[in-house]
Every structure is written in structure tokens, then in C-alpha cells.
């Protein structure tokens, strides 16, 4: 049985706020610093917990305001 792909492509702005670890792919605004360095504009996978986005690169936390666009991996 094949898994269904429910991804709808890039959406402007941050993903919806959740507190269940749901995944999203985000692209950050150019001025956002991650790990002390400017971001390269490459997509980052994040989980959503306690009003913050946690990255998969060393567990850095981002604000929803840092996100330029997203792809929501988990749909309700």
C-alpha cells in the first residue's frame, strides 16, 4: 500500500502554531542568524513545540516570525 502525498508546496508565511512536534519545512528570512551565522536560504526541517520552532541542526530554536515560507508536512 503506497503512502499518499498530501504536500501542497510552498505557502507564504509561517506554519500554523502547534505544540505536538508536528514537522514543517521552512525557508527563513535572510536576516535570521542560525548557529551564529546567516542562513543560506536553504530549507530547514523544524518541529513545533511550545510556541517555538526547533530545528534539526543542533536543536536551535526559531521564532515563527523568522519564517518567510513553509511546507506543512502534517495536516489535521
* Mean pLDDT in consecutive groups of 10 residues from the start of the chain, 76 residues: 64 92 92 83 88 79 93 77
Question: Could you tell me the sign of the dihedral formed by the alpha carbons of 64, 70, 74, 76, in that order?
Answer: positive
Query: What pLDDT, on the 0 to 100 scale, is given for residue 1?
Result: 45
pLDDT at 11: 93
* Whole-number Å distance between alpha carbons of 69 and 58: 22
Q: How far apart are CA 17 and CA 4, in angstroms?
A: 24
Instruction: Return the residue matching grid coordinates 536551535.
Output: 60
pLDDT of residue 28: 94
Cell of 63: 521564532
Asked whether the whole model's pTM tops 0.95, one would answer no
Residue 66, SS3 per DSSP: helix
Amino acid at each position: 500500500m503506497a503512502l499518499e502525498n498530501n504536500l501542497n508546496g510552498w505557502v507564504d508565511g509561517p506554519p500554523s502554531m502547534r505544540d505536538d512536534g508536528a514537522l514543517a519545512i521552512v525557508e527563513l528570512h535572510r536576516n535570521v542568524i542560525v548557529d551564529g551565522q546567516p542562513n543560506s536560504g536553504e530549507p530547514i526541517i523544524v518541529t513545533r513545540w511550545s510556541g517555538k520552532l526547533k530545528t534539526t541542526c543542533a536543536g536551535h530554536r526559531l521564532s515563527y516570525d523568522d519564517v518567510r515560507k513553509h511546507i506543512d508536512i502534517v495536516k489535521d
